[in-house]
Amino acid sequence: MSFEMTVAWGDCDAAGIVFYPNFFRWFDTSFQHLLAAKGLDQRSLVSRFGIIGTPLADAGARFIRPATYGDLITIDSHVSDWSEKRFTVGHVVRRGTDILAEGHELRFWGTRDAETGRLGAAPIDPDFKTLMIS
C-alpha cells in the first residue's frame, strides 16, 4: 500500500530538512492508511476483534537521504513479518525513485487484563491476518 504526501514547512528543522521524528509519525499514518485499505481502522479493531488496538513494541529507521519542504514523498507500507502475538510493518519512503528512509514498526495485538488493567498481548485473530495478507 502506498501513501503520498507533500512535506510541509513545519515538518522541517532549522536546516530545512525533515526533523527525524516526523518519519515515525508518517510511518504510523501510513499504517493507518494500510488498515483503511483493508476496511479497518483502530476503532473497528476494537469493535470487531475485541482488542484495545495495535500498540507499538518497537520502531526503528535508517535515514538515507534528506527530504525538505515541498517534496512529494511516497511511503510504501506492508506487513513484513508475523508471530503469534506481534507483527512487523515495514516502510520505505521515496521521493520519486530515490529511497529516503526505511523503517519498521513492531506492533502487538493489544489487550487489557480485566483484573489488573495491565496492557498485554494476545494471539492475533486469524481473520485480521487473512485481511492484511490479501
DSSP-based helix, strand, coil % in the chain, nearest 5: 25, 40, 30
Q: What are the two backbone dihedrals, phi and then psi, of residue 42, each rounded to the nearest 5 degrees? A: -65, -35
Residue ranges of the alpha helices (H) in the chain? 21-37, 42-49, 126-133
Cβ atoms of 90 and 107 within 8 Å: the answer is no
Q: From the candidates 13, 41, 81, 98, which is the catalytic residue?
A: 13
Report the distance separating Cα 34 and Cα 38, nearest Å: 7
Please, what is the end-to-end C-alpha distance for the chain in angstroms?
A: 12
Active site residue 41: no
Residues noted as catalytic: 13
